[in-house]
Amino acid sequence: MSRSIFLPALLIALSLQNVFAAGAFTAEQYKKALWMVTRFYGAQRSGNGPNWLLMDHTYKTSFVKDADGSRNLEGGWFDCGDHVLFGQTFFYSAYMLAKAYEAFPKGFYDLYHGDYSDYAESKDWSINGGKPNRIPDLLEELKYATDWIIKATPNGTTFYSQKGNGNYDHQKWVTAGFMSTLPINEGGEKEGSRPMTKNPEDGVMASFAAATLAIMSKIYREYDSAYADTCIKHAKNAYDYAKTYKNKAAGADFYGSHKDPETVFVLAASEMYRITGDNAYKSAIDKSQLKGHWHVLDYSNSHDLVTYAAAMAVPENKDEALKLMFDEFVSKYTNSGNINEEKVTTLGGGWGQLRYAGNTAFSVALYSLAKNITQYDQFIYDQIDYILGGNKAKRSFITGFCEGCSGSPKLPHHRNVFLRDDNPDDTEKAKMTIPERNKYFGYLVGGTRVSTSYTESVTDYTLTEGGIDYNAGLLGALAYIVSKLAPAPDIPPIIVDPDPDPDPDDPDDTDPIIPLQNKTLLGNFVIRFVGTQEFPAQSKSFTVQIFDLKGNKISTIKSEGQAVRFTTKGKNIYYAVVK
């Protein structure tokens, strides 16, 4: 081959390497990983749940007495392998999930029911055991968190940030349900509610709470507009609290405070303005708070999230903000000098090392979306592939995920997954096995950036513990990948079919169909589900609640997939809510 032909061919080949990024796994394998990482949050449910890890256990519920006087505070997510809700990671993680869904909705499937009744019925807890229920799984997992955020934000001057005491909680290796039966000073609620942290004078957690609820009011509206309205109401409560303490950040039993609290208030203002359009929030987007930071993305340093939120909220500032995001974060994350020979980032601390691989990949994915570019896709694939087992040791760092790998974590530092209530000593802990029922855990352990150096030890929590914040960035980056390789199908709506002479069984019914989501009804109606290949009509159950315009419930109609009929009375107008 002559030199004149070889060089252009080489340049084309090198160019294509930059354009067409390639992952180490198939589209279905990434989809499986995202399903598992998503359902992990259901294994972190405190309260009545259901928590799917505990559904067949002797103690199925936990901490149902959480309260502040008469205010019920049951619910929310456990932090890590323990049983405390720490606001430092909880509100941040909820925001990360909300942002992931909003940014990459086509990455998220509807594969199961949010109460796991489909798994309980099939006895198959794999990706094949669930049934769709017309709501994307991530939204149902996130709603369990936002339900609690609503409880935690009753007004603009009251804010709850923590449930439980870390020192009490860490005394015994038992499940959350069993621990609930113990005295308060042993982490339980035998004598009543465990300790609640109220009004921590922290603007960071309240800012993340406001931002999360604001986004939830948008992404959940098509499923329940009344709930969306409640979210935005409480988002305003959280924002008002954050505004009062925007310069302050509080630590917790095992967590430090945010490194730069006022920046997060800009994130809250940005999300509130983008969702509501209220200029009062726009005026609070302080551009001076858009700045870089020495550390990488985690719960205590969220500068790149702030910059991204501000960029997307105010179009005239977008280019300037995204340039800052690139100069200060993306360029650093993707710089070859910060990537080791296994192609994983070396940035971030030594505790929970692989959260930083997921977090940087998610941050770069958000930037790529905003700029509509693909040149950093290979970096994103490399970080996620390393976590999934595309590394020298072929070791997966997600408990339960192993596609062509040598193994996944068998001894994660997490009490509920093992279902042990006998408080085993360290020798016994080393012998524990995960019950078959819980093997698809989806728990990202802290891990190590050198795959061959990872050691299985349930007591070495720096390596084998995970957390809701560890999974959050990984989830967002996986959603970016899945949205490209195997985008989720659109979920067809339940429709209302106006019919003056309704006959649900009439195959020749050709009246016009109207998408139904909180529509007003006048006359006689047939309500039915229009099926597709992915969502067969007869497998879809739904409930129709009929209200009059004063809000009085007139009727509740349940269906297992068949059409149902509602006949209005006289000329009254009714309001239908379909769930």
- Residues marked active site are found at 82, 413
Helix (H) or strand (E) holding 526: strand 524-529
Burial class (CB in 10 A: 0-12, 13-18, 19+), 479: buried
In the numeric block, which tokens belong to residue 481? 């990948």
Distance of CA 165 to the CA centre of its chain: 24
- In the chain, DSSP finds a helix count (H) and a strand count (E) of 20, 15
By the 8 A CB rule, do 138 and 109 touch?
A: no
Burial class (CB in 10 A: 0-12, 13-18, 19+), 396: buried
Q: Is 386 helix (H, G, I), strand (E, B) or coil?
A: helix
Residue 518 contacts by C-beta under 8 Å, 6 or more apart in sequence? 225, 226, 575, 576, 577, 578
By the 8 A CB rule, do 210 and 92 touch?
A: no
First to last CA, the chain: 67
Helix (H) or strand (E) holding 557: strand 553-559
Instruction: Return the amino acid letter for 371.
Output: K
Burial class (CB in 10 A: 0-12, 13-18, 19+), 337: exposed
Cα–Cα dist 205/303, whole Å: 14
Cα–Cα dist 374/343, whole Å: 18
In the numeric block, which tokens belong to residue 547? 């209200």
Check residue 468 and report its DSSP letter: H
